[in-house]
Amino acid sequence: MIRSLPYIAFLGLALSACTQQQPPQARGAAFYAKYCTSCHGTSAQGDGPVAASFRVPPANLTLISERNGGVFPTEDVMAQINGYEGRHQFGGMPEFQKDLNGPMVDYMTASGEVIATPQALIDITSYLEDIQQD
Q: Is residue 14 part of a domain?
A: no
User: Rounded to whole angstroms, what are the CA distances from 13 to 4, 9, 27, 54, 119?
Assistant: 14, 6, 18, 43, 20
Q: Say which CATH number the domain at 39 has.
A: 1.10.760.10
Q: Is residue 18 part of a domain?
A: no
Q: Is residue 8 part of a domain?
A: no
Q: How confident is the model at residue 114 (pLDDT cuts 50, 70, 90)?
A: very high
Lowest mean pLDDT among 40-49, 51-60, 77-86, 119-128: 77-86
Q: Is residue 74 part of a domain?
A: yes
Contact 93, 78 (CB under 8 A): no
Domain count across the chain? 1
Q: Which domain holds residue 89?
A: 24-130
Q: Is residue 28 part of a domain?
A: yes
* CA proximity to 74, closest of 34, 35, 39, 28: 28
Q: Is residue 13 part of a domain?
A: no
103: pLDDT strictly greater than 50 = yes
What was the pLDDT predicted at 24?
A: 82
Q: Is residue 3 part of a domain?
A: no
Q: Is residue 9 part of a domain?
A: no
Q: What is the pLDDT of residues 6-29, one digit of tens each?
A: 444 444 444 444 445 788 889 999
Q: What is the pLDDT of residues 56-97, one digit of tens each?
A: 889 999 999 999 999 999 999 998 888 766 555 555 677 777
Q: How much is the pTM?
A: 0.78
Lowest mean pLDDT among 18-27, 30-39, 46-55: 18-27
